[in-house]
A and B are shown apart, each in its own frame.
Chain A
């Protein structure tokens, strides 16, 4: 499963993994902003960002081809909107939309592939991310896997009882979605009870962050600086 692989990558050791998670988050945020603001005709900037991100993947000792391929997961969604731009006579804007989406996904993937989840949550808390949002993220990640397993079990049950594996029966799909929603609701109630039983009062404790050193600061300045220079000079 992809999430297990990403989790394994995040536990590796490398110079990139060694920087403070706050530095990595801020560097990624800077990259995302500079990429998001690229206009049409910024192909050289896109190429440079790609080289920068691929270089980061190499420095982090990640399987580069898997990472580069993994980020393409956003392309089908982006392609829908790109198609609209292309059809309205703006092929360059469409290509840029695809490039920006891919580079943003690659940035996000690199961040989570180099930061174990507990460290990521702790860093987001340090950065004063709203507590409610943090809670939602933690639970989304934790229970997405459980719900995906439940959905897979339901799909197997449908197949084993002769349900269509090829044709899409919307009545079946709608029924399954309804059952999955009801199960999710029941599970959320059970989880809440279990949390209350263990003294939950609105705050999930996150791991303690280590100190932010000058070394981390230098990494942040360098990464953000390069991202801004590319944006200012090549876009």
Chain B
């Protein structure tokens, strides 16, 4: 399998001097799914923000053969779909359909094609019936599914989901598991919920103080770190 993500020696320090990442090496193959576990502030989200060039630390990050550099950002952001923890931050357009079509339109697709593709993505996430609704009228679960539709519409090769179960009730979490389980893309799932991680993947990496302290089977990692 070709690597979809290849990270070597990634380090990042926030403006206040906090060392968020202290030398990360990480690989992920096409279609592979992995859960990133670890305490708050251990660097999981900071790491995710490097995968599509939102943050730029030292070291190398290569996505699907493309180094994450300024000249490749447009291409990389189409290949890496990042679903943020708080869907309200991600849904900024006046209607669900327009929000899902946003990425396609900014990539230069014509409106008719973009809306067709957006509707397909909404159908995939079970949100097509809400296409004309304003995002702020949706429930937390619907917002999450809309945010995922906005990413799926771009047909990314890698999905990165940051705490996807936040704000979701148990039925919403089960729906999300079903949705994520049938996606063919490589997936990185940042979560504190081992049970949720177990339903989607057997592999986990544990972040601690800005490094990957261990990588292995979800159960072994959870047992080892008392998670």
Contacts and interface: CB of A to CB of B under 8 A. Distances in A.
Nearest to B147: A194
- Most B Cβ at <10 Å: residue of A117, A145, A190, A198: A198
A199 B54 contact: no
A162 interface: no
A6 B161 CA distance: 35
B49 A193 contact: yes
A138 B86 CA distance: 19
Interface in B108-144: 111, 132, 134-137
A193 B54 contact: yes
B94 interface: yes
A201 B74 CA distance: 10
Given A118-B94, A138-B94, A197 B82 contact: yes
A194 B101 CA distance: 14
A12 to B, nearest CB: 13
A191 B94 contact: no
A198 B134 contact: no
A207 to B, nearest CB: 7
A87 interface: no
B225 interface: no
A3 to B, nearest CB: 9
Contacts of A194: 82, 84, 89-90, 92
B86 A190 contact: yes
A153 interface: no
A193 B103 CA distance: 13
A208 interface: yes
Interface in B54-94: 54, 74, 77-78, 80-82, 84, 86, 88-90, 92-94
Contacts of A52: none
B95 interface: yes
Contacts of B150: 198
B137 A4 contact: yes
B137 to A, nearest CB: 7
B197 interface: no
A117 B106 contact: no
A203 B107 CA distance: 11
Contacts of B78: 199
B77 A205 contact: no
B111 A197 contact: no
B216 to A, nearest CB: 29
B84 A190 contact: yes
A7 interface: yes
Nearest to B112: A208
Contacts of B82: 194, 197
B89 A191 contact: yes
Contacts of A145: 136
A195 B86 contact: no
Contact of A197 (B77, B86, B88, B135): B77
A19 to B, nearest CB: 20
Given A190-B84, A191-B92, A208-B111, A200 B106 contact: yes
A11 B137 CA distance: 15
A74 B180 CA distance: 49
Interface in A1-36: 4, 7, 11
Nearest to B77: A199
A203 B102 CA distance: 10
Contacts of A138: 92-94
B129 to A, nearest CB: 16
Contacts of A203: 106
A4 B137 CA distance: 9
Contacts of A81: none
B93 A204 contact: yes
Q: Which 9 A-B pairs have the closest CB atoms?
A: A205-B105, A198-B103, A199-B106, A190-B89, A117-B94, A197-B82, A194-B90, A118-B94, A191-B89
Interface of A: 4, 7, 11, 116-118, 121, 138-139, 141-143, 145-146, 187, 190-191, 193-201, 203-205, 207-208
